[in-house]
Structure formats: C-alpha cells, structure tokens
A and B are shown apart, each in its own frame.
Chain A
Amino acid sequence: MGTKARDVMDSHFHTLSPQHTIAEAVRLFREAGHREGKRIFGMMVTDDDGRLQGMLSMYDILLFIRPKHVHIWGEMEDIDIEGLLESIFRKAAAILVGDIMTTDVVTIGPDTHVMMVLDLMIKKHIRRLPVLEDDRIVGMVYISDLFSYFFKNLSQI
C-alpha cells in the first residue's frame, strides 16, 4: 500500500488563469466536475508558464458575494430587496480570479506522507492541497480522495 501524497493525488488537475472572470471560473468548475465525475469546488490558478499563483475555492467566491452589512439589514424583512441577487451576481461575474484568489497557498511534495497530509488538512482547514515537484505542479490531493484512500484501507483490515 502506497503511503505518500503521490499515491492519493489526482494527476488530472484543472487550472484557472488569474485573468479568468468569476463567471468563467464557475463554468470551468462545472465542466471539470463533469469530466472528473465529481464535484469540483476549487482549482489552482497558474501563470502562463504553468506555475502556481494561487487557489480559487468556492469559499473565496462566497466570501466575495456576501454583502458586508447583511448582519444588520438581514433582519429587516419588510425592506424590498427584489433584484439584489441579480445585482450582486452581475458585479461578481465581472471580477477577475486574480482579484479574489488565495495567494498564500499551502503545498506539499509527492513524497509527503499521507498522515502529514491529513494533519495539514485538519490543522489548517484545507480541503485540497497542490502537489509540487521542483516548483512544477504534478497533482492535487482532495480531502475526499484522502478519505476514500483511508476508507478503502480501513475496510481491508
């Protein structure tokens, strides 16, 4: 049984450009999900040379579209806010991936032990970890794949 990141990582990763709009990114999430047969909620962002620039997750998009003062006006149920969602989505759709992506990305190497990967994911609340070898992206470890790996091996004991 392999015990390294390379044994659980997905080598068929998908990437975004910092110049993609959020609307394009969401479409690419959906298309990648169809191709991979699983829901994709985050992608690596790379420059023209394929080097990692950041990550864009569903959470980054949700953070952006959340109105800043909703905790105050959210209780005012009698205020007519029809059209607000469309207005928010219109603004968000034009924002560039590079504007809201996470740039402080935690990465691992292909030889990182799966337990270290697990520890990182738990301690830092990360659901996906890019795998780099000599500064080049070689894969991505998703928390769901890590769970499947443990589940498969646990069930064989």
Chain B
Amino acid sequence: MAISGKRNVLSGLKVKEAMRRQVIHLPKSASLSQCIGTFIKFKVNAVLVTDEDEQPAGVVSKTDLMGAYYADLPIDSPLEMIMVGPPLFCGEEDFLEDSLDIMYGSGIHRLYVRGGEENAVTGVLAYPDIVGLLYRYCRNCKMSSYRRGGEMDFREVMGQIRVREVMGPSVKSHREGESLLEVMEGLSAHRFGAVLIRNDAEEPVGVLSKSDLIVAYKHGVSTDVPASEVMASPVVSCDEEELLSGAIQRMIFTDIHRLFVHRKDPREITGVLSLSDAARARSGSCHACVTSRIKVEQAT
C-alpha cells in the first residue's frame, strides 16, 4: 500500500549533512565577560557550557547575556548563574526533519549534536546553517516556485525579484533618548535581535542590536545611558524597488544579516529584509514544504 507523506526537500537528509563541526564551549566557572569575548571572537550566538567533568551542562545565548545586563549582574559572574540547561541534543544520524521538529516545538534556534563511539558532542545544528543548505536543495527541487514557472532562465528570474516582494513590513523602533534598559525591554518583549532607533523628528538614526548591547555590558556601560550612545550608525538601508540581488550584495559587503528598507527617501523606513528571507525567496522554497517554517530571529 502506498504511503503518502509530507513532501519535503529535507526528506532523507541527516543531521550530519547540515551541522557545523565546531562546538564553542566554556566551563560554567567562566565569567560573563569571557563569554562575551568568545561570542565576538567566534561570531556565534550561543556557547555550550560544561561542568567540572567537561560534560554539557547548559547553554548561554546573547539573549541570556542581555538578561544579565538588564538585571545588573556583575560582569565577572560565572556562566552557571545564567545558563539555561540542560542543552537539547540530536544525533548525527537523526533525520534533519525530526531535529527541526524538536527545534520548532521547543522554540529554540539550535540543537547540539552527539555522535561517534563515545556519543560525544560533535557539533551544532542551527537554523542559519539549514537555510544555506536549503538554498542549494530548494533551487533544484522540482516543486521550486521558479522551476514550476516553466523554462525561464533562473538567472533571469533572480534578476527580476525586488526587495518589496521579500521584505517584512513591520518595523518597531525606539527613540534615541530612551535608555538601554527600555530598549532591552522592547527587544525582549518582541523577541527581536535588533531594533531601529529614531530621533525626535522620527528619522532613523541608528540600529541597536543584542550584539551592541553585550559589548556595552563588557565595557561597563551603564544601562541608564541613552540608546544613541551605543547604537550603530548610520542605518544601512535599501530601497523597496531595488533588486534583491543588490540588497544581498550590500549585506555581504557590510557583513550584516538585515537591511532596513525605505521607500524612496532613506528617512522613510517601511520594512526590513533579512538575508535568510532573501535566501529563501531566491531558492524558491514553497510553502507546502516543512522548510518554510524555519524562522531566523528578525530585526524588527
């Protein structure tokens, strides 16, 4: 009897094909300051925390560090005070779909991977890595929205997509005079990775991200200071009508994951474009596919 199931470009793929074999870990006695240094150096969003026996005990993310900053914890406090544990795991030989289900169901962005004879931690499976993998697979999938379109040359299609077709329309912002505490409350309430900062004339003047905040924490900046003292400025943005390829190019050259989008005038911000959404749009991933559920933390 034929068994029908969900069509999914990830079907049959294993965790080992998408995981990164680099586990950044710190002992639970390491300081928050040391942890922030590790985040910056390795360009990661979380570290695995280990116990005295070098076994996994928890995870510390940028959100946890921002929480510590908000709570005014001393920067030399040990990681065990803020780590979230135990970590969630999957196996190298597990199916990617099953692991994605765990991530989706638990509301987390990464799973640590066990493998080998000793069942040691051998890597990390994170959404952004899967987005890159999907780009390759979805483009070749016969159900890709671009392939369904007929014989049109892929490059020609790619050259026609505009930013407005892919951008997210909602932008939340804070005023440059609001304190870091207030901005952190906003980021936390909306689960954003970064927020637009406007001046009193409602003009966009900067972006404040969790990364900026944890660096400020490490440098001993008070949470009472205004956002304008820590934000990254100017705002990197693109026009709604710009070709998506041009916007992606700008993200590549500035090494950022999100661009704010304006309508003609850079002062009129109308949305945000993430590199992940741009990749998904260009890959032709269809909504019937379970992969469309992958969401990477948004900027607004």
Contact = CB atoms under 8 A, between A and B. Distances in A.
Interface centre among B37, B132, B245, B257 (most CB of A within 10 A): B132
B249 interface: yes
A72 B245 contact: no
A87 B276 contact: no
A79 interface: yes
B34 A104 contact: yes
A76 B253 contact: no
Contacts of A87: 253
Contacts of A79: 245, 248-249, 252
B251 interface: yes
A97 to B, nearest CB: 13
A38 interface: no
B155 interface: yes
Main DSSP-derived SS at the A contact region: loop
Contacts of B158: 78
Interface residues of B, number: 28
A71 interface: yes
A63 B41 contact: yes
Interface in A45-88: 60, 63-64, 66-69, 71-76, 78-81, 83-84, 87
Main DSSP-derived SS at the B contact region: helix
Contacts of B41: 60, 63-64, 100, 102
A126 to B, nearest CB: 16
Interface in B255-290: 255-257, 275-276, 279, 282
Contacts of A60: 41
B87 interface: no
B135 A76 contact: yes
Contacts of A68: 43, 255, 257
Contacts, number: 65
Contact of B42 (A63, A76, A78): A63
A7 B33 CA distance: 37
B128 interface: yes
Nearest to A87: B253
Interface in B1-51: 20, 34, 37, 41-43
A72 B132 contact: yes
Contacts of B129: 71
A84 B253 contact: yes
Interface string B165-200: 000000000000000000000000000000000000
Given A68-B257, A71-B20, A72-B279, 18 more contacts: A68-B43, A69-B128, A69-B251, A69-B256, A69-B257, A72-B132, A72-B275, A73-B248, A73-B275, A75-B132, A78-B155, A78-B158, A79-B248, A79-B249, A79-B252, A80-B249, A81-B249, A84-B253
